[in-house]
Amino acid sequence: MVSENKHPKHIIMVILDTFMDEPFQRALKEETLPAFNYFMERAQYFPDMVSPFPTMSVNVESSLLTGRYSDQHNVPALTWFHNKENRIINYGTNAVELLKLGLSRSLYDSLYRLNNEHLNPELATIHEELQRAGKTSASINALVYRGAVRKTIKLPPLLRLFVNLDNTFSTSAPDIFTYGRLATYSRLRKYSQPWNKYGFNNDFSVQEFSYLVRERKLPDFTIVYLPDHDKNVHKFGPMNITGIKQMDKQLQAMLNSFPSWETALENNIWLLIGDNGQAVVHEKQKRALVDIRQILQSYQIVKLRKGVRPNDQLALAMNLRSGFIYSLRPNNIPLRDIAAQLQKDSRIEVIAWKEQGWIHVLAGGKGESLQFSAAGELIDPYQQAWTIQGDHTVLDLQVMGKRITFGDYPDAMMRLYSTLHSHAGDFLVAAVKPGYEFISESSPRHPNGASHGGFHKNDSLIPLIVTGTSSKPEYLRVIDIKDWIIRLMKE
């Protein structure tokens, strides 16, 4: 562990699932949060970092590690349809959907193929780039972790009873790799039992990190993922702060693993960041839950357990507050026809698809439309150029001269463009307004709680707390963090 100022600082990134500014500010005012307050007194604070769309953890982490949106890293969302394999990929929406799709295959998609096949192998992750530069790195419980070192994932004995998979398999990971009980760096087993989600919890993540610090094995760059707050917000709503108080205790434990809190911040650069926000979901289920099957009931839709059959016309991959709708017969069922059905529902916020070089966008419950294409004379705040036709209110855009500013949908065009170019197939993407959540055959549902996956700023804006450096990313987007970290490593 580096302890002298002349040595480069370690960089420690802590991903705080569902960390949002408004409830965080409430918690700072109403609760005693020693760790968060200690960081904030010494930090730069950016409340409005832009997360990728769909706002699901695997997409966010893929963008974080590669510095690119999904049109380049190729991990579309938590669930999507694989055109070549003619099947739905699901990395873990819930147990029922995984069982229907086939538990063994879904588990292998999540544990192996996500990192070793689906994440674009031609696009270097931060772990891979750092190793090439002679730096070391660690991934503790992150879902997306690909590095350049071969590591072993070992299935727990109880899990082996339910799946037809090898007990162990090799994966590409960083120098130091923790993936719950399935791959650990220390020999510590507390918090890793089946009732602890096999170690995929905050306490186990902190335990592994603290072990590295105490054993003086902290690498140049470390990612630590704390997943637990997500479930609190899903159940109790976006202003719930129970998880924030718990995370403060866990951050205290991380700081306590150093000789002092002062040492922890003096010798390291800390980045505390959310992954996505969540929007409230109304209490009354019938109104709050938007059943995509009812809207598209005139079509034959793929059943999860049966897979694609000859008469099927559409496939659905719903990511909570957004979803992909695939036409399996695009010559007979054009995306425009599907979009027209969706547009009738006023709970749907945005409907988009690509056609002949243009992205077409509709708003639910309205007749307005907008089309845009990459390149042109209009410039957005990220210096991206566009040509835009139609009603700007569809994407809540303000256009003054040749400058574009965003309203409710940050980085709107690039986030839609990227998701519509993230994988092969004939599909559109749709997202619902705050207050609502898509449901399909067996998807999760959170009435009177909160959900994410959507396009709205409530889903998309996350905080970043930075200590140990006065610099910041070029732009305040998740995709700009990787290049910034690489620059920090060179200072």
The pLDDT assigned to 213 comes to 97
Q: Which residue has the tokens 């959310």?
A: 274
Q: Which residues of the chain fall short of a pLDDT of 70?
A: 1-7
Helix runs in 120-278, H state only: 126-132, 157-160, 202-214, 229-236, 242-256, 261-266
For residue 400, give both structure tokens.
């003054």
Helix runs in 74-156, H state only: 95-101, 103-108, 126-132
The pLDDT assigned to 1 comes to 37
The pLDDT assigned to 2 comes to 34
Q: Is 3 exposed, middle or buried (0-12, 13-18, 19+ CB in 10 A)?
A: exposed
Q: CB–CB of 450/279 below 8 Å?
A: yes
Residue ranges covered by each domain of the chain: 10-75+119-278+460-490, 285-448
Q: Which residue has the tokens 């590409």?
A: 172
| CA atoms within 13 A of residue 141's CA, in its CB half-sphere | 27
pTM: 0.95
CA-based angle 127:130:131, to the nearest 5? 85
C-alpha 297/C-alpha 341 separation (Å) is 10
C-alpha 128/C-alpha 131 separation (Å) is 5
Q: CB–CB of 279/321 below 8 Å?
A: yes
C-alpha 24/C-alpha 463 separation (Å) is 9
Q: Is 438 exposed, middle or buried (0-12, 13-18, 19+ CB in 10 A)?
A: buried
For residue 131, give both structure tokens.
């190793």
The pLDDT assigned to 7 comes to 59
SS (HEC) of 19-40 = CCHHHHHHHHHHCCCHHHHHHH
> What is the residue-wise DSSP string for 392-432?
GGGGTEEEETTEEEESSSTTHHHHHHHHHTSSSSSEEEEEE
The pLDDT assigned to 3 comes to 35
CATH number of 10-75+119-278+460-490: 3.40.720.10
Residue 9 DSSP one-character state: P
Q: CB–CB of 191/207 below 8 Å?
A: yes
